[in-house]
Structure 1
Amino acid sequence: MRWAALLAPAAGFYALGAALLLVETAPAHMADFRVPAAPAGEREPITPIPPPPDADPREVALGEHLFADPRLSGDGARACTSCHDVGSNGADNRTRNPAHGAAKPLLDVSTVFNAALSYRLGWEGKIRTLEAQAQEAIESPASMGGRVDDVLARLRDDAEIAQAFRAVFGRGPDRDGLLRALATYERSLVTPDSRFDLWLRGDSSALSPEERSGYDLFRSLGCVSCHQGVNVGANLLQRHGIFHPLASPEPAILRVPSLRNVAETAPYFHDGSAPTLREAVRRMALAQLNQTLADDDIDRIAAFLKTLTGRYRGRPVTPPRS
């Protein structure tokens, strides 16, 4: 489907010519997800999160093991879980991801939850598939600082892991199997059944009057122009700071982040400069919509955003412990 069909911007927003949007068809890594259509006559610009796609449980388990394995890093000191804590919010609560001697500040860590529902990956949207993202994470000096060939050599020396690869793929550890197992596991990291999803499915009692009012305001202001679809964003590129500065000026064009579980993923923005959800709402309205919101309006929008917190393995997504 074309995401452009879902856009409902505030009047005059695009006439300014200041926004840069890039929309395209859903990528291959979303093909296995069955996103349900809303009932006729009840169309909303946001759709519920579907269950994860069917997958071989052995492959998911292998990917989960690898995701937590520090042998994927160059120095053996960190795993994917070092920055992406799936026991809490799928990210962390640090302002910046610590680098391996990186010369410049890094972008804020994004949650791995629902990443499989994003049309591109990374803050700048340069990565097209989960497999490519896994390789980038392993080999980036600012992330794991390793090499896939070195990782495979370590895994081949582990008889138990080598046997697990053979059981799943019919062969020992290789590049395709490593990246595929990680990607398959990441496709399982979806968080359905938020209260907003329950409301979308017809449970009118799932939202309070304040939360429903916040959603109405979210739409009428034009926030939904960029934050819509199954992931409430993450399906287009956008210039930030259209009317007023928002955060660090570079990168100037970013993949619009998903707002799924946003109440649990502070700090906010690509530079982690907004410490609270209310501050993020206030700054976004001013920078992107030229709207100075009253405290009551901020409270109502924040109340709606809190209803986007989903569940993983039967429990609500929560912020990490400090």
Structure 2
Amino acid sequence: MKKKLLVLAALLGLLVLVLGIPVLNLVVKPPVGAALAAAGPADPLFAAAAVPLQAQCGSCHIPGAALPFYAGLPVARDVIRRDIDAGLASYDLVAELAPAGGRPPSEPALAKLEFALVRDTMPPGRYLALHWDGDLAAAQEKAVLDWIRSVRRASYATPGFPDAVQEGVIRPLPASVEAHPARAALGKRLYHDRRLSGDDTLSCASCHDLAKGGTDRAPFSTGIRGQKGDINAPTTFNAGFQFAQFWDGRAATLEEQAGGPVVNPVEMGAEWAKVIEKLQADEAFAKDFAAAYPSGLSAENIQHAIAEFERTLVTPHSRMDRFLAGDAKALSADEKAGYDLFLEHACATCHAGKLLGGGSFEKMGVKQDYFAQRGGKTGKADDGRYNVTKRESDRHRFKVPTLRNVAQTAPYFHDGAAADLKKAVTTMAWVQRGVDLPAADADRIVKFLGALTGEYEGKPVQ
């Protein structure tokens, strides 16, 4: 009898503990700070969104936020610390939603927050078990979503489309962009000019062929004297919309990017002085160049001209763009199903905006170790953004590639390891989301991706 009473007492004690913590959490709340609101713009919509986000999400997603009373308990301390570290690593509300310099939040930052709210993926169940009021109320969720959509309209709109289109996670490309005609024309000539290489054998178009989706369709490009690079050549189509250039983002602008390969000893292997000497010897070209650039031939002006041309490499009028603009018949039933799966599996949280990518750095292998799956051996190119910042947290992080015209740009990934789109889709589902994607679903997503092929100079991108 005594043993039964002891067991019963232990069970009652456990029940009191289990129920006591969430009940106390309803009464004893940590002070709510204002770090998010203080860091953001003086915008009433942002303020309305920041208050509930700080209160409900701040413990795990704002550095230094006050913690619940039980965080000091011996058993809870380490668990909570791990959860906070993981939460901040995945999404720091202040850094993501109130970037330094008054910049708007990135499109992926908005997409991730929207996905979590609409799909009800946060907060996790174990948090709600202890915090019965941990979810945002309907009015609070609406305030956050209203702010997200206002940012898209104000900062990322595609001219000529209604608000309903501008507010979406994916939007159409513009039909054209502004560029200096004479300078862009010179840039086009330079883009295809082999005199920019050390031995006059290679041009920008050698690795970024506009007849091959803006790539060379090789895992790694072949440079001067047959040297092989160590990273896949990204497309130059729509490059002007990317937030940074190269897989590791080491170039902030198209101009900076345009100069890199010219002097890279493995790529074009040239020297600017000799390139300028060759171009200057071409009297007709030098005359045209001087007309567009009165200061004459220089490395800076050559890079500017190439960048000006690359800004014109816009590929609008894909079937997906027509669908977004209201043409329900632009996509087939399978393509629409693929689009739904693309959204369901959170692909658009990184592949967001008009480019469906090109707006953030993300880790390759969030849920599974991509490099172990590939074979384990890694090289410098696999370190990604780490090569620029030297921060360990940036190792294996890469700029998210655009999915525009992706059906034309095989092979895929920074290492060119995925030979076809289906392999790329199933690999990403597994290593980024931990989802073993059924073959039929992968096929539908691939069909949807095919609808992202646009037009260049009035013809479909090949």
Task: For residue 80 of structure 1, report the CA deviation from its aligned partner.
Answer: 0.6
Q: Is 2:441 the partner of 1:297?
A: yes
Task: For residue 104 of structure 1, report the CA deviation from its aligned partner.
Answer: 8.0
- Partner residue of 1:36? 159
- Partner residue of 1:134? 258
- Partner residue of 1:28? none
8 Å CA contact 1:135–1:148 kept in 2: the answer is no
Query: Cα–Cα, structure 1 residues 284 and 159, in superposed 2: closer, same or farther, change >3 Å?
Result: same
8 Å CA contact 2:196–2:270 kept in 1: the answer is yes
Task: For residue 149 of structure 1, report the CA deviation from its aligned partner.
Answer: 2.0
Q: Is 2:191 the partner of 1:67?
A: yes
Query: Cα–Cα, structure 1 residues 122 and 68, in superposed 2: closer, same or farther, change >3 Å?
Result: same
1:77-156 matches, cutoff 5 A: 77-100=201-224, 106-156=230-280
Q: Which amino acid aligns with 1:109?
A: A
1:221-260 matches, cutoff 5 A: 221-247=345-371, 249=378, 250-251=382-383, 252-260=396-404
- The alignment partner of 1:238 has SS state of strand
Q: Which amino acid aligns with 1:307?
A: A
Q: Which amino acid aligns with 2:159?
A: P
- The alignment partner of 1:142 has SS state of coil
- Partner residue of 2:16? none
Task: For residue 105 of structure 1, report the CA deviation from its aligned partner.
Answer: 5.1
Q: Which amino acid aligns with 1:192?
A: P
Task: For residue 171 of structure 1, report the CA deviation from its aligned partner.
Answer: 3.8
Task: For residue 56 of structure 1, report the CA deviation from its aligned partner.
Answer: 2.8
Q: Is 2:177 the partner of 1:53?
A: yes
8 Å CA contact 2:219–2:415 kept in 1: the answer is yes
- Partner residue of 1:21? none
- Partner residue of 2:458? 314
1:275 to 378, 399, 419: 419
Mapped to 2, the partners of 1:123 and 1:170 lie a distance apart of 34
8 Å CA contact 1:242–1:287 kept in 2: the answer is yes
- The 10-residue stretch of structure 1 (192-201 or 169-178) with the greater mean CA deviation from structure 2: 169-178
Task: For residue 85 of structure 1, report the CA deviation from its aligned partner.
Answer: 0.8
Mapped to 2, the partners of 1:75 and 1:158 lie a distance apart of 17
8 Å CA contact 1:156–1:172 kept in 2: the answer is no
Mapped to 2, the partners of 1:46 and 1:67 lie a distance apart of 30
- Partner residue of 1:6? 111
- The alignment partner of 1:153 has SS state of helix
Give the number of the structure whose residues are more often helix, by fraction.
Answer: 2
- The alignment partner of 2:163 has SS state of coil
Q: Which amino acid aligns with 1:256?
A: V
Q: Is 2:293 the partner of 1:190?
A: no
Mapped to 2, the partners of 1:294 and 1:235 lie a distance apart of 28
Q: Which amino acid aligns with 1:312?
A: Y
TM-score, scaled to structure 2: 0.62
2:289 to 149, 152, 165: 165
Greater radius of gyration (CA): 2
- The alignment partner of 1:305 has SS state of helix
Q: Which amino acid aligns with 1:148?
A: W
1:261 to 376, 395, 405: 405
Task: For residue 54 of structure 1, report the CA deviation from its aligned partner.
Answer: 2.1
Task: For residue 296 of structure 1, report the CA deviation from its aligned partner.
Answer: 1.0
- The alignment partner of 1:254 has SS state of strand
8 Å CA contact 2:258–2:303 kept in 1: the answer is yes
Task: For residue 202 of structure 1, report the CA deviation from its aligned partner.
Answer: 1.2
- The 10-residue stretch of structure 1 (90-99 or 119-128) with the greater mean CA deviation from structure 2: 90-99
Provide Cα deviations, 1:85-114, integer angstroms capped at 9, x if missing partner. 112311111121124479985101111101
Q: Which runs of 5+ in 1 are unaligned?
A: 16-32
- The 10-residue stretch of structure 1 (82-91 or 278-287) with the greater mean CA deviation from structure 2: 82-91
RMSD value, Cα: 2.2
Query: Cα–Cα, structure 1 residues 148 and 9, in superposed 2: closer, same or farther, change >3 Å?
Result: farther
Q: Which runs of 5+ in 2 are unaligned?
A: 1-103, 125-155, 384-395
- The alignment partner of 2:362 has SS state of strand
8 Å CA contact 1:165–1:177 kept in 2: the answer is no
Higher RCO structure, 1 or 2 (CA under 8 Å, sep 6+): 1
Q: Which amino acid aligns with 2:417?
A: S
Task: For residue 52 of structure 1, report the CA deviation from its aligned partner.
Answer: 3.1
TM-score, scaled to structure 1: 0.87
Provide Cα deviations, 1:269-291, integer angstroms capped at 9, x if missing partner. 11111111001000000000000
Task: For residue 126 of structure 1, report the CA deviation from its aligned partner.
Answer: 1.3
Task: For residue 75 of structure 1, report the CA deviation from its aligned partner.
Answer: 1.5
Provide Cα deviations, 1:9-62, integer angstroms capped at 9, x if missing partner. 4665897xxxxxxxxxxxxxxxxx973375234532011111332223221111
Task: For residue 210 of structure 1, report the CA deviation from its aligned partner.
Answer: 1.2
Provide Cα deviations, 1:163-221, integer angstroms capped at 9, x if missing partner. 01111122431223211110100001110110001111111111112111111111111
Query: Cα–Cα, structure 1 residues 206 and 234, in superposed 2: closer, same or farther, change >3 Å?
Result: same
Structure 1 segments of 4+ aligned residues over 6 angstroms from their partners = 101-104
8 Å CA contact 2:232–2:416 kept in 1: the answer is yes
- The alignment partner of 1:243 has SS state of coil
- The 10-residue stretch of structure 1 (243-252 or 292-301) with the greater mean CA deviation from structure 2: 243-252
Query: Cα–Cα, structure 1 residues 70 and 102, in superposed 2: closer, same or farther, change >3 Å?
Result: closer
